[in-house]
Amino acid sequence: MANSPTTKNGVTAGDKPQSVGIMSVVAPAIGWFIPGAGHLIQKRWIRGILLMTSIFIMFFLGLAMQGHIYQPNGGDILDILGFIGDVGAGGLYVLTQAMNWGQGAISHATADYGTKYLIVAGLLNFISAADAYHIAIGKKP
């Protein structure tokens, strides 16, 4: 397929079903683990950088504001929901667990904003990963 036209995804028309199939799994997975990377590997540079910047800054602002990181074994239903939100940040959540961040004593009133920042950064990353999937299957340009 040397002379086949190349699409925007970098795949040729002849092997499109197989390549798109692989990308439809890889892009959201990488996009979940590294926010914005699902767009970057599909050459959506500006979108990827904007998503990465927004989610990274939001997550680290949440940590700087002494936000709480939920654990997988919270027990309470609200803790489980908080964990689902936090785990959306993928690699960032793994990093916080490895470094034991987000577990300190809260010393000011607006620290609850930090917890919300962390959860929403994870939830926004879920949306970002879904968007990377839609680009990979050709549903979105």
Partner 1 sequence: MTLALSHFSAALLFSVFASVVFGITQRSTSHEQIRYGLYCFAMFVGGVFAAGWVMWLLRR
Q: Footprint of partner 1 on this chain (CB under 8 A)?
A: 47, 50-51, 54-55, 57-58, 61, 64-66, 107-108, 110, 113-114, 116-117, 120-121, 124, 127-128, 130-131, 140-141
Annotate the chain with three-state secondary structure. CCCCCECCCCCECCCHHHHHHHHHHHHHHHHHHCCCHHHHCCCCHHHHHHHHHHHHHHHHHHHHCCCCCCCCCCCCHHHHHHHHHHHCCCHHHHHHHHHCCCCCCCCCCCHHHHHHHHHHHHHHHHHHHHHHHHHHCCCCC
Which is nearer to partner 1, 16 or 116 (by Cβ)? 116
* Minimum gap (Å) between residue 75 Cβ and partner 1: 28
CB 61 within 8 A of CB 101: no
Give whichever of 23 and 124 is closer to partner 1, judged by the CB atom.
124
Smaller CB distance to partner 1: residue 11 or 114? Answer: 114
Q: Which amino acid is at 92?
A: L
Minimal distance, residue 1 CB to partner 1, in Å: 28
Name the residue nearer to partner 1 (CB basis): 93 or 114.
114
Assigned token pair, 53: 């910047």
Q: How far is the CB of 72 from partner 1 (least distance, A)?
A: 25
Closest approach of partner 1 to the CB of residue 74, in Å: 24
